[in-house]
Amino acid sequence: MSERDASRIPVLASVGQSIERSEIVTSTDLAARAAREAFDRAPRLADRVDLLTAIAVSFSPILTAPATAVAKQLGLRNTRCEVTTPGGHSPQWAVTRAAT
């Protein structure tokens, strides 16, 4: 087994959740709210986001670039944005790829 660089071990830096029961909001609004909560818990995290991945689901309204819309709401600059293909394995695939 090869030695691993301890400075490159993936860790979960923060989490956020958004629930809305009384207003009509878009899925990108909910995603941005959850990200803001995560950034509030880890204030220096927002400046270190290299890639924002949106998992392809039913977006409301249907957007061609939901990750870009979320990045814009969050004021993220120099962040690559992408959308996965739809599928049940897509969230785990995105996490595994990011950790790799």
Distances (CA, A) of 78 to 7, 9, 37, 50, 86: 23, 23, 21, 7, 25
> SS3 for 64?
coil
Percent of the chain predicted with pLDDT > 90: 55
Mean of per-residue pLDDT scores for the chain: 87
Peptide linkage before 61 cis (omega within 30 of 0): yes
- Enumerate the β-bridge partners of residue 52: 81
Q: What is the pLDDT of residue 1?
A: 46
What mean pLDDT is predicted for residues 28-43? 94
Render pLDDT for 42-83 as a digit per residue (tens, 0 to 9). Answer: 989 999 999 999 988 765 566 778 999 999 999 999 999 999
CB-based burial of residue 37 (10 Å sphere; 0-12 exposed, 13-18 middle, 19+ buried)?
middle
Q: Tell me if the pTM is above 0.85.
A: no
